[in-house]
Structure 1
Amino acid sequence: MTKRLDLRVDFAFKSLFGTHGNESILAAFLNAALRFPDEKKIQTVQLLDPHFNKENQEDKRSILDVHAQLEDGSRVNIEIQLNNKHDMEKRTLYYWSKMYSSQMKEGMDYGELCKTITINIVNFRYLSHITNYHSTFQLYEREQKVLLTDMLEIHFMELPKLLIKWRNREVDPREDQLVRWLLLLEASEDEEITQVLEEIAMQEDQVLKKAMDEWERVSQDPEVLLAYEARKKALLDEKSALKRAENLGKIEGEKIGVEKTIKTMALGMIHKGIDNETISDLTGLSQEEINNLRRQ
């Protein structure tokens, strides 16, 4: 069997879910993710330009992973993140606001603006205080939990939490279609998941079968593979840079902690009337640093 692309890499994800001709695959995923009742199931989706132009010189030029419009006009953005950059809330709100405001055209009334939904699929534990792998956020009044508006909807789907539930047999892709689609993103690294999904695809889910066939096809496309490997390398480089920055932050934090402890000790000695020379010998602080502490 051909080694398939890792669908957790955003380029591969977009190749399957965000490509013209694969709208039925995207619609099936969104029906599972948004839990629409049968009478409101998405039949068709329209893929939109994922690029947002800069409105001013200071603005960031935004590129969405998958940007689509539903039949009722609702806008949806799906973002997949391999690495935790520790900015997800702000990044999500920024992208949501760009999608929402981009609907406004000259002469439009605010009442014509449509619901805007962001779905974040992350390959790391993000919401440590929440046990569910799928969390949905909206705008509520704090005390009475009254919904202000349904125009904003933000989803987080944490793959590591889902995998734990899968291994503990707490979820079943045969019964839950969202579990089915999210496990597909992990299938390149797990033969058991691949086998189960292939059985489901052959027995009952024609759209999943189409997705797996398309996944197989793009995984053999030389041009796709070239771009995929380049993107995968960039993500690995990004992960290494984030790790270095994190380690540097820890070192700096430890250094600050030691310095704070030394200065606290020096202040205690000053209060006891110990002379500068003795304090300097015991703490390593300069005479100038000790004098600055005396003036505090």
Structure 2
Amino acid sequence: MRRNQKNVTEDDFIMLPTVDFCFKELMQNENIRKGIVAALLKLHPEDVEKTDLMPTILQKQYEDDKYGILDVRVKLKNGVQIDFEMQVVYYDYWANRSAYYLGKMYVDQIREGDSYDRLQKCIQVSILDHTYFQDDEKCYRRIALCDTETGKEYTDLLEMHILELSKLPPEQKNETDLLQWMRFLGGKCREDFKKMAENNSTFEEAYDVLDRLSADEKKRLEYEARQKAIRDHDIMMKTAKRLGLEAGIAEGREKGIAEGREQEKRNIIREMLQDHIPDYKIKQYTGATDKEISEEKSRLF
């Protein structure tokens, strides 16, 4: 009986799009890309003539510049570029990070001597499986440059879309295409995807892609490795916060304070390394030694 139960569990396994590895694999399919882009831009999928996947590493301009690493970067036939980022766990300074990627994507379009009229619209899309805006229930918002008094848009060349899957409302009739795609991306089990696939040919294709990916042993190992990395990062952040609290509670105990400060220092070094900040800047900011930086590198890489 236990063996049969195990087989049922394994047969039921399906990758979830909220894991960025799975999302990237889904977006390899042009029909899925077109469907999501059309929903985002309020177009009919047939009006999205062409989508191309672009390299997801933005080039450095200077030696000490940070690399920008994007999840999925799409270019439309009219030159519009869209960066999709899937983020499962809360990330400090997410607004700073997404604004940085959008700005870098925008300026990387031209080189010295090029005319500004070559600049095309750039859109950054954050798909969050956690709550970022705590003070309302809106699950979707579009952010653009506008006059703060009149609300009049200054330019449409820079645009951000925030999709908070954790805020999805109860299912309703006549939902927008974007809300339906958010439900699909936020699916938690095979039954969720199968239900949506029954009434929509694009969702049916997306479900088939998920099914094939989930049956591919190599892809599944990559998926599980990525899941583990996400869990480890989440645990590391929670542990760091807990240690910080404990250090505060133990104020006055010199050893406890020293350990708390040391742990905080290591956490900062690790975060800076993950953001590809040069060693010399880490030293300037934290006072870390070469040995301390090397030790954190060995833990990360």
Question: What is the TM-score when the length of structure 1 is the normalising length?
Answer: 0.76
1:174-220: per-residue Cα shift (whole Å, max 9, x none)? Answer: 632222222222324373x33421221xxxx3222111111111111
What SS does the aligned partner of 2:55 have?
A: coil
Matched, 1:29 2:36: yes
Pick the structure with greater CA Rg. Answer: 1
**Which has the higher mean CA deviation after the structures are superposed, 76-85 or 241-250?**
241-250
Instruction: Return the letter of the residue paired with 1:124.
Output: H
1:134-166: per-residue Cα shift (whole Å, max 9, x none)? Answer: 01100111111121111111011001101xx12
Q: Distance in 2 between matches of 1:40 and 1:194?
A: 23
**2:63 aligned to 57, 69, 72, which one?**
57
1:9 touches 1:82 (CA, 8 Å); kept in 2? yes
Aligned pairs (5 A) from 1:27-106: 27-36=34-43, 38=44, 41-106=47-112
Aligned to 1:181: 181
Instruction: Return the letter of the residue paired with 1:85.
Output: Y
Q: Distance in 1 between matches of 2:122 and 2:46?
A: 17
In 2 relative to 1, CA 186–40 (structure 1 residues): closer, same or farther, beyond 3 Å?
Answer: closer
In 2 relative to 1, CA 177–245 (structure 1 residues): closer, same or farther, beyond 3 Å?
Answer: same
2:55 touches 2:73 (CA, 8 Å); kept in 1? yes
2:121 touches 2:156 (CA, 8 Å); kept in 1? yes
What SS does the aligned partner of 2:180 have?
A: helix
What SS does the aligned partner of 2:233 have?
A: helix
**2:123 aligned to 117, 128, 147, which one?**
117
In 2 relative to 1, CA 237–39 (structure 1 residues): closer, same or farther, beyond 3 Å?
Answer: closer
Matched, 1:10 2:9: no
Q: Distance in 2 between matches of 1:62 and 1:27?
A: 24
Question: What is the TM-score when the length of structure 2 is the normalising length?
Answer: 0.74
In 2 relative to 1, CA 56–194 (structure 1 residues): closer, same or farther, beyond 3 Å?
Answer: same
What SS does the aligned partner of 1:187 have?
A: coil
1:23 touches 1:47 (CA, 8 Å); kept in 2? no
Instruction: Return the letter of the residue paired with 2:127.
Output: I
What SS does the aligned partner of 1:219 have?
A: helix
Matched, 1:214 2:209: yes
Q: Distance in 2 between matches of 1:23 and 1:49?
A: 16
In 2 relative to 1, CA 190–154 (structure 1 residues): closer, same or farther, beyond 3 Å?
Answer: same
**1:232 aligned to 217, 227, 230, which one?**
227
Q: CA deviation at 1:224?
A: 0.8
Instruction: Return the letter of the residue paired with 2:179.
Output: V
Matched, 1:198 2:221: no
1:40-96: per-residue Cα shift (whole Å, max 9, x none)? Answer: 931221111111233223222222100011121111000000111221100001110
Q: CA deviation at 1:254?
A: 5.5
Aligned to 1:131: 137
What SS does the aligned partner of 2:36 have?
A: helix
How high is the sequence identity, in percent, across the aligned residues? 30
2:141 touches 2:162 (CA, 8 Å); kept in 1? yes
